[in-house]
Structure 1
Amino acid sequence: MEFCTAATRTAKRGPDNYFTGEVWLEPLAQTPLMDVQMVRVSFSPGARTAWHTHPGGQILYVSSGRGLIQKEGEPVRAISAGDTVVIAAGEKHWHGAAPDCAMQHLAVQPLIGGSGADWLELVTDDDYGG
C-alpha cells in the first residue's frame, strides 16, 4: 500500500495572475505513484479562477457554499455544495464563488509532464456576470 505524501496543509493565497479576488489554495495530497494532485480551494464571494485548461482533465467536488462555472461556448452555470463537475482534458473553463456566497471545492487533477493546469486570461466582470 502506498500512502500519499501529506502536504504541509498550509493554505496559500492564489496568485493574482491566476485568480480574481481572494482565493486560498491548500494542497492535500500528491502521489508520484499516480501523478495526481488534490487541492482544497476556498473562494471568497465573487472570487474566481482565470480561464484555464487541464492537460489531464479535472474533477471538482463542491464541499461548501455556492459557485459558478463556465465552459467555453456554454452559459455560466450555478454549482453548490454536493455537486461534482468533470472537466475534460483541454477544455477551457473557469470556476469560482457566487457573487454573494463563499465556496470551497476539492480539485483533483492528473499531472501531465508535471503540470496540472495551463493558465490563460483572467475572467472579465462581463464573463463572470454571464
Structure 2
Amino acid sequence: MRVSRTPQPTAAASSEWVNGAVWVEEIAAPEGSSRFRVDSVRFAPGARTAWHRHPLGQVLHVTEGTGLVQCRGEGVHTIRAGDSVRVAPGEWHWHGASPTSFMTHLAIQEVAEDGTEAERGAHVTEAEYSTGPLTH
C-alpha cells in the first residue's frame, strides 16, 4: 500500500474541453497495472464540458451543488449532491453546473489499454444547454 499526502495542484480545464470556468484536481491517476483515473471537477455556474465519450464509460458522483447531464438522444437531467450517474462505454454525453449553482463531482473512469481516456466532440451550444432539465 502507498499513502499519498502530497496534494496535486488544481488546474483550469482546457477551453478545448469546456465552456466556462472549470477546475480539475487529480485524485488518482493510472499507475503500474492500474488503469483507473479519479478527478474532482468543479464547475462555475453555467460551465460545462464539450460533448465527449469514454471508451470504457464513466461514473460521475456529485459532491456539491447542482448540475446538469445529458446523453445524446436523451433529455437534460438535473443532478445534485449525493447523485451518481453511470455513462455507458462509448456514449456521447456532457455534464456541468446549472446556470445558478457551482457543482463539483468526482469523475471516475478506467483508461483503455491503449491509453485512451476520452474522445472530444463539439462544444455544447447555448441552445442545447438551455433546453432545461427533463427531471428534477
Shorter chain as denominator, the TM-score bin is over 0.9
Moved over 2 A (4+): 2-8, 31-34
Distance 1:17 1:4 in 2: 33
Change (3 A) 1:125 1:57: same
Taking only aligned residues, the RMSD between alpha carbons, in angstroms, comes to 1.5
Post-superposition Cα deviations, 1:100-128, rounded to whole Å, max 9, x if no partner, equal: 00000000000112122111110000000
- TM-score (structure 2 length as normaliser): 0.89
Quick check: 1:39 aligned with 2:39? yes
In 2, are the aligned partners of 1:6 and 1:28 still within 8 Å (CA)? no
Is the partner of 2:127 in helix, strand or coil? helix
Distance 1:53 1:32 in 2: 24
Change (3 A) 1:92 1:105: same
Unaligned runs of 5+ in 2: 132-136
Q: Write the mapping of 1:1-130 to structure 2, written as runs, cut at 5 A.
A: 2-3=1-2, 8-30=7-29, 31-112=31-112, 113-130=114-131
Deviation at 1:9, TM superposition (A): 1.6
**Between 47-56 and 114-123, the greater mean CA deviation after superposition:** 114-123
Distance 2:5 2:53 in 1: 25
Deviation at 1:38, TM superposition (A): 0.3
Is the partner of 2:14 in helix, strand or coil? coil
Q: Which amino acid aligns with 1:122?
A: H
- TM-score (structure 1 length as normaliser): 0.93
Is the partner of 2:129 in helix, strand or coil? helix
Deviation at 1:33, TM superposition (A): 2.7
In 2, are the aligned partners of 1:71 and 1:93 still within 8 Å (CA)? yes
Unaligned runs of 5+ in 1: none
Q: Which amino acid aligns with 1:40?
A: S
Q: Which amino acid aligns with 1:107?
A: A
- Kindly tell me the number of residue pairs found equivalent between the two proteins: 129
Change (3 A) 1:76 1:110: same
In 2, are the aligned partners of 1:64 and 1:104 still within 8 Å (CA)? yes
Post-superposition Cα deviations, 1:7-26, rounded to whole Å, max 9, x if no partner, equal: 75211101111100000011
In 2, are the aligned partners of 1:7 and 1:27 still within 8 Å (CA)? no
